[in-house]
Amino acid sequence: MPTFFFYGPKIELEKKKEMIKAITAAASKATGIPERSFTIYFRETQHEDVSVGGQLLSERQ
């Protein structure tokens, strides 16, 4: 079962549904694996929980 994880900000339900369809269709087309086989997890993260380049996103401007 191919699995994708999306770590990022909170996304509206309708936007999640759009992403799910787009990611699933693209992955299926690229791999030949049926769409029904893919699993996608959304993990909501806050800016104070992520660091890029040694700095928290909450501290970047």
CA atoms within 13 A on the CB side of 43: 7
Q: What is the pLDDT of residue 59?
A: 93
For residue 46, what is the domain's CATH number? 3.30.429.10
Residue-level pLDDT, tens digit, the chain, 61 residues: 999 999 999 999 999 999 999 999 999 999 999 999 999 999 999 999 999 999 999 998 7
What's the sign of the alpha-carbon dihedral 14, 15, 20, 25?
positive
According to DSSP, the residues that pair with 8 across neighbouring strands are 44
State how many domains the chain has: 1
Domain that holds residue 9: 3-59
Q: What is the pLDDT of residue 11?
A: 95
Q: What's the whole-model pTM score?
A: 0.81
